[in-house]
Chains A and B, each alone.
Chain A
Amino acid sequence: MTRLRCLTLMGAMMLLNACGGIQPWVKPYERDHLADPIMAWDRDPISTAYMDHIRETREGSRGATGSGGGGCGCN
């Protein structure tokens, strides 16, 4: 059991070490397409929310439409 714990700990440390070494594979200077306004997840939040409202008053489904995250990393 102790050996298993040691192996688990070593594995976790190796994973953490690997995460620390992650380099962005899309460099900041390669993000001009991602920075284009047409690539924004939502250009008009008020309009999007309004359309969601129209749908939710007619449909039983709800949620998971408004917090997908940005992440362009364009700045």
Chain B
Amino acid sequence: MAPLNRVVTRIAVATVLLLVRATSADVLPDDRADLFYSKYSGGGMDITGESVAVHKNITDNFALEGNYFVDKVSGASVDVLSQASQIKDERKQKTITAEFIHDKTTYTASFIDSVERDYKSNTTSFSLSQSMFGDLTTLNLGWSHTHDSVGENNGTAFVPIINWLGHAEDTSYSVGLSQIFTKNLIVSATFQVITDDGYLANPYRSITYLDPSSAKGYSLASQVYPDTRTSTAVQGQAKYYLPYRAAITGSYRYFRDTWGLIGNTYELDYTHPFGNVWTLEGRFRFYKQNHATFYSNEFPFADAQNFMARDQDLAASENTTIGAKATYAFLTNGWKMFKRGTVTLDISRIQFHYLDFTDIKDYPQDLPDDAPLYHFDATVLQVYMSMYF
């Protein structure tokens, strides 16, 4: 679960930044409460997530937001299964965010605390959003710092014995610019740099190397990662209001890091409302990456390199997502303290294909490089309700 937690924390920071983006005008958004449920099934893993969030404007220019998120993981991905180790874990995350608006500037600060039995993480983040040139342009600056404690469960899912392996720190800097071009077109660009330092490997995954002394012909060993990583990503987005009431969004992201990974992401989204009650949305996403320089599906012998990984995240891969979302609005004329409410159902289907990562779980008789390439489909279901007041 260790890298999962690190990712989740980074995502939580992104959530805060998204909230800034969603509210980056010069007034605070409506008070809002959200209930969220999610279920991910695929690749041998089931992950359920439950979340409650409340945004409350304390004054005209100051707001507080709290979010509590619990996710439960059962099963294990294919590279963990290959070591016959099952995961059953729960993670609890608390986030508190403060927003302050002064004139054309929005300041946001947040603190995130995430705990599971083999991983602890704390993140502090600050961001600033500035509107200018008649509110046609918005500049966003973001910074965050995360401290992680990384452990490994050497016991069982029910009787854990945690061996704490080390710490990791990451710092993120981001710059974003959003520009209104016409009365129907808005465009944005974002640049983000993230630096990591410390224990960055996933302790639950292993490399494979050829070993004539083993009955299978190969053996497993611990991964060895570099202690540092720096990544840069730039994303461009355009959103266009069609001649009838509908919106289309296109985006592209280019990513590269000091581990030799290069990733390209393409997304297309179409949103079509029906009156003021229903809004339907469809989306398509394609992603492709090469492998990290120190990744190999099968190393020729033990200690073949200084750094060695066989983590599927670092393999060459591509995936395609098709998703649909339906939102139903109710109480559109308000009721008592509520201005309106929405219920949303969102389903995505993702097909993952690995280009140099093989399935040694289902083909244990094969050497890693002789086994078939791994692929799997995942379904992501989300149901959530938002009340505005």
Residue positions of A touching B, CB distance < 8 A: 22-26, 28, 30-31, 33-34, 36-75
Residue positions of B touching A, CB distance < 8 A: 3-4, 7-8, 10-27, 34, 36, 38, 40, 49, 51, 53, 67, 127, 129, 131, 133-140, 142, 172, 174-180, 182-184, 186, 188-194, 231-235, 237, 239, 241, 245-247, 253, 255, 257, 259, 261, 263, 265, 271, 273, 279, 287, 289, 292, 312-314, 317, 319, 327, 344, 346, 348, 350, 352, 378, 380, 382, 384, 386
The residue from A25, A30, A67 contacting B174, defined by CB atoms under 8 A apart: A67
Contacts A46-B53, A68-B235; A73 near B134 (Cβ below 8 A):
yes
B290: nearest chain-A partner, CB-CB: A60
In whole angstroms, what is the CA distance A66 to B124 when docked?
A: 16
Select the residue from A36, A40, A72, A74 with max chain B CB neighbours within 10 A: A72
B256 → A minimal CB distance (Å)? 9
B346 cross-chain contacts in A, Cβ below 8 A: 47
In whole angstroms, what is the CA distance A34 to B174 when docked?
A: 25
Contacts A36-B245, A66-B13, A72-B180; A45 near B36 (Cβ below 8 A):
no
Q: Contact at B188–A69, with CB atoms within 8 Å?
A: yes
Q: Contact at B263–A60, with CB atoms within 8 Å?
A: yes
Q: Contact at A58–B14, with CB atoms within 8 Å?
A: no
Q: Contact at B23–A70, with CB atoms within 8 Å?
A: yes
B194 cross-chain contacts in A, Cβ below 8 A: 62-63
A67 cross-chain contacts in B, Cβ below 8 A: 14, 17-18, 20-21, 127, 140, 142, 174-176, 190, 192
Contacts A26-B183, A75-B26; A63 near B192 (Cβ below 8 A):
yes
The residue from A36, A42, A54, A72 contacting B380, defined by CB atoms under 8 A apart: A54
B112 → A minimal CB distance (Å)? 12
Contacts A50-B382, A64-B233; A71 near B24 (Cβ below 8 A):
yes
A51 cross-chain contacts in B, Cβ below 8 A: 348, 380
A55 cross-chain contacts in B, Cβ below 8 A: 287
9 A-B residue pairs with CB within 8 Å: A33-B183, A34-B184, A34-B186, A45-B18, A50-B382, A58-B313, A58-B352, A60-B257, A63-B232
Majority secondary structure, A binding face: loop
A75 cross-chain contacts in B, Cβ below 8 A: 25-27, 135
A25 → B minimal CB distance (Å)? 7
A74 cross-chain contacts in B, Cβ below 8 A: 25
Contacts A53-B11, A62-B233; A70 near B191 (Cβ below 8 A):
no
**What 3 A-B pairs have minimum CB-CB distances, sorted nearest first?**
A24-B134, A73-B135, A70-B24
Contacts A65-B14, A67-B140, A71-B186; A57 near B36 (Cβ below 8 A):
no
In whole angstroms, what is the CA distance A50 to B40 when docked?
A: 10
Contacts A59-B317, A61-B265; A45 near B239 (Cβ below 8 A):
no
B58 → A minimal CB distance (Å)? 19
A56 cross-chain contacts in B, Cβ below 8 A: 7, 10-11
Select the residue from A41, A46, A65, A66 with max chain B CB neighbours within 10 A: A66
Q: Contact at A60–B190, with CB atoms within 8 Å?
A: no
The residue from A40, A58, A61 contacting B312, defined by CB atoms under 8 A apart: A58
A37 cross-chain contacts in B, Cβ below 8 A: 279
A35: nearest chain-B partner, CB-CB: B25
